[in-house]
Amino acid sequence: MTRKALAAQMAQLIEALGKSGLSKKAFCAKHDIPVAKFYYWQRRLSQEEQHFPVP
């Protein structure tokens, strides 16, 4: 999987977390994602959004 595709997939998962009502830990366990990886992508995508805001 390319880095761009992985970033898009993680962005979708971060959005799904907000709709799920689960804690980050429970959400990650349900989707078999390491919590550290989730936090990494959440921070990284947040930083990119600050530098390149979507109109």
pLDDT at 50: 63
Q: Phi/psi of residue 20, each to 5°?
A: -80, -30
pLDDT at 51: 60
Distance CA 11, CA 13 (A): 5
pLDDT at 21: 94
pTM score, two decimals? Answer: 0.77
Structurally, the chain folds into a number of domains equal to 1
Instruction: For the beta carbon of residue 46, count every other beta carbon within 10 angstroms.
Output: 10
Residue 46: which domain range?
A: 3-51
CA-based nearest residue to 15, from 29, 30, 27, 2: 27
pLDDT at 4: 87
Look at 13 and 1; give whichever has higher pLDDT: 13
How does pLDDT run across 21-48, given as a tens digit for each residue? Answer: 999 999 999 999 999 999 999 999 988 7
